[in-house]
Structure 1
């Protein structure tokens, strides 16, 4: 069992976004468990990719990763995983297979960033770098999705 990580307040919003990534993986699993059409799940993951993960990855790469420098092994790994996830999200064939891979690889990537990479970034960041992260993250805007297919079997409870 992992002990809760004490995250600097400047990094907390980025960590909170990771929570939504973990929820995405759960929603994919729920969608398959509930026999939801693959195209509905894919529509949601496409939207999530565009409105949440692309801005999130861009933010990390622009404001957080330079703290350790691009030639740092942990940064190389994170960028490699970002690129792999991009290929999975944007692929137009083998959709069901790719959704399962997204579900699995996104969780592993988030765990790596939370447990290893962010700890290293937090330990090396200057006060000024943390202030910039905090200021710039306030500019990130996200949107909500309407088709909550993952709640299919819970709707009867609200009636």
Structure 2
């Protein structure tokens, strides 16, 4: 993940670690042939408890910069949200939908870490980055812990 001097972007990168684990959990559930309803319930939990707030924060604070990279990130969010809504509502509940969601999110995180965040760090002055952090008033650092009780992604011994 990005090794930036900006503590706010570092925190967003820490959130991305949680989200990459979420992707691995979905992928493991699919590989282990876990019931799709169990995986769907986990997806709903993770969206409601963490990912929705993460997306909202990025969109409010970082992605309103109107550059092409920020616009792509917002478009990615919309695509991922649409896929999540279809899964959670039961409209898409097949193995390939779950795998596609994990792939979309993984690709998005990689884009933010490898392209968006470095461009922000390189393209914005320290004062501009500080202004971004100040603009996030009302947002508290993520203290989310994935304590979902059904650890379906851990193979039974």
Indicate the TM-score class for this superposition, using the shorter chain for normalisation. 0.7 to 0.9
In structure 1, the residue matched to 2:55 is 57
In structure 1, the residue matched to 2:104 is 105
CA distance in 1, matches of 2:78, 2:57: 14
Give the ranges of 4+ consecutive aligned residues of structure 1 lying more than 4 Å apart after TM superposition.
Answer: 133-137
State the 1:40 CA deviation.
Answer: 0.3
In structure 2, the residue matched to 1:142 is 144
The gaps in structure 2 that reach 5 residues or longer are: none
- How many residues in Structure 1 have an aligned counterpart in Structure 2? 148
CA distance in 1, matches of 2:116, 2:73: 8
Taking structure 2 as the reference length, the TM-score comes to 0.84
RMSD: 2.1
- Structure ranking higher in helix proportion: 1
In structure 2, the residue matched to 1:82 is 77
Taking structure 1 as the reference length, the TM-score comes to 0.83
State the 1:114 CA deviation.
Answer: 0.4
In structure 2, the residue matched to 1:115 is 114
Post-superposition Cα deviations, 1:39-89, rounded to whole Å, max 9, x if no partner, equal 0001001111111111000110111123xx23x111111111100000111
C-alpha contact (below 8 Å) 2:61/2:132 kept by paired residues: no
C-alpha contact (below 8 Å) 1:64/1:133 kept by paired residues: no
Alignment of 1:1-159 (within 5 A): 5-7=2-4, 8-66=6-64, 69-70=65-66, 72-91=67-86, 92-96=90-94, 97-123=96-122, 124=124, 126-132=128-134, 137-142=139-144, 144-153=147-156, 156=157
CA distance in 2, matches of 1:129, 1:56: 19
SS of equivalent residue, structure 1 residue 95: coil
The gaps in structure 1 that reach 5 residues or longer are: none
C-alpha contact (below 8 Å) 1:63/1:133 kept by paired residues: yes
